[in-house]
Amino acid sequence: MEDKDVRVDKRETKEDRGMVASTFIKYTAYLVIFFGVIWFIINYLLPMF
């Protein structure tokens, strides 16, 4: 039998985790802004009508 040298390339999980974290923060900011606008409309604009 012949011994074969097998190389396994590991992916950088640090970059993947960073992308996931930045995407999570981005969409969390979108949700906060969205619900802030909805809250403003409900509390200030709807009572005018």
pLDDT tens-digit profile of 1-49?
666 777 776 665 566 889 999 999 999 999 999 999 999 999 999 998 7
Q: What pLDDT sits at residue 11?
A: 64
Gap between the Cα atoms of 14 and 9, Å rounded: 15
pTM, to two decimals: 0.61
* Whole-number pLDDT of residue 8: 72
**Token representation of residue 17:** 């985790």
- Distance of alpha carbon 24 from alpha carbon 29, whole angstroms: 9
Query: DSSP characters for 1-49?
Result: --------PPP-HHHHHHHHHHHHHHHHHHHHHHHHHHHHIIIIIGGG-
Confidence (pLDDT) at 13: 58
Kindly list the domain boundaries of the chain, sorted by start residue.
Answer: 19-48
